[in-house]
């Protein structure tokens, strides 16, 4: 039987050089615990996103979120592709949206939303939570179901929670979780 501890061992990045604990410990699980996320932690997690850098300080992001007990939760799940429905174990789902234009100017939306999401993810990790981002969902369905403000374009859905008890996971999902994490090494070049 696989335990959460064993999954963590498999998923740990084993960096070649020292990095901060949140980076060393982070990975994107597909299996979450029922444990609720504390309100004050939710506030801190979004606060981390709020203080992310952005082009012209336009902050071109917007987050909608729901807890498992909210009626919106299953609506969000219904927008995910079948492949991503593992997210239904997460106690919290966040819809991260980008804002393409602000004050008539095109924003650096993808870059800036990525920065805000990464701040959120690392703050969550710092507080003992894990996140998995999912770009594969039915955006039109989500917009229709929620009637989101037109300026806010859903870009990724984030599943957030404590790591699940992997003893209870089904075999198919466990197989996906046991995939080793691979990283390319050739991505930095010092210029003359």
Contact between 13 and 27 (Cβ < 8 Å): yes
Please, what is the minimum distance in Å from the beta carbon of residue 29 to ligand FMN?
Answer: 8
Place of tokens 């003992």: 128
Nearer to ligand FMN, 73 or 137 (CB): 137
Nearest-angstrom CA–CA distance, 79 and 84: 10
- Name the DSSP class of 52: S
CB of 103 to ligand FMN, least distance (A): 26
d(Cα 62, Cα 109) in Å, to the nearest integer? 11
Among 22, 25, 27, 36, binds ligand FMN (CB under 6 A): 27
The C-alpha angle 64, 70, 42, rounded to 5 degrees, equals 50
Size of the site for ligand FMN (CB under 6 A): 10
CB of 115 to ligand FMN, least distance (A): 12
Judged by beta carbon, residue 119 or residue 133, the one nearer ligand FMN is: 133
- Give the dihedral sign, CA 133/137/139/144: negative
Does residue 93 contact residue 159 with C-beta atoms inside 8 Å? yes
Residues 128-157 binding ligand FMN (CB under 6 A) are 132-136, 156
Whichever of 36 and 173 has its CB closer to ligand FMN, that residue is 173
**Which one among 28, 44, 72, 138 touches ligand FMN, defined by CB under 6 A?**
28
* Residue among 8 and 36 whose Cβ is closer to ligand FMN: 8
Near ligand FMN in 161-190, by CB under 6 A: 181
Rounded Cα distance between 123 and 112, Å, is 17
Structure tokens at 84: 């991503």
User: ∠ at Cα 119 (126, 39), nearest 5°?
Assistant: 60
Nearer to ligand FMN, 68 or 132 (CB): 132
x-or-dash string of contact with ligand FMN, 55-94, rule CB under 6 A = -----------------------------x----------
Angle at 144 between CA 42 and CA 100, to 5 degrees: 65
Residue ranges that bind ligand FMN, judged by CB under 6 A: 27-28, 84, 132-136, 156, 181
């Amino acid at each position: 039987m696989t335990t959460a501890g064993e999954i963590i061992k498999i998923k740990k990045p084993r960096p070649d050089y020292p990095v901060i604990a949140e980076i060393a410990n982070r990975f994107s699980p597909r299996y979450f615990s029922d444990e609720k996320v504390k309100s004050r932690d939710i506030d801190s997690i979004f606060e981390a996103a709020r203080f992310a850098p952005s082009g012209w300080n336009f902050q071109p992001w917007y987050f909608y979120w729901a807890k498992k007990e909210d009626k919106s939760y299953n609506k969000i799940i219904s927008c995910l592709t079948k492949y991503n429905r593992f997210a239904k174990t997460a106690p919290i789902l966040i819809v991260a949206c980008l804002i393409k234009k602000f004050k008539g100017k095109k924003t650096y939306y993808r870059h800036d939303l990525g920065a805000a999401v990464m701040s959120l993810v690392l703050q969550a990790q710092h507080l003992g939570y894990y996140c998995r981002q999912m770009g594969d969902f039915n955006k039109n369905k989500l917009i229709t179901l929620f009637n989101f403000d037109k300026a806010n374009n859903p870009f990724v859905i984030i599943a957030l929670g404590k790591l699940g008890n992997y003893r209870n996971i089904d075999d198919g999902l466990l197989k996906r979780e046991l995939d080793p994490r691979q990283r390319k090494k050739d991505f930095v070049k010092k210029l003359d």
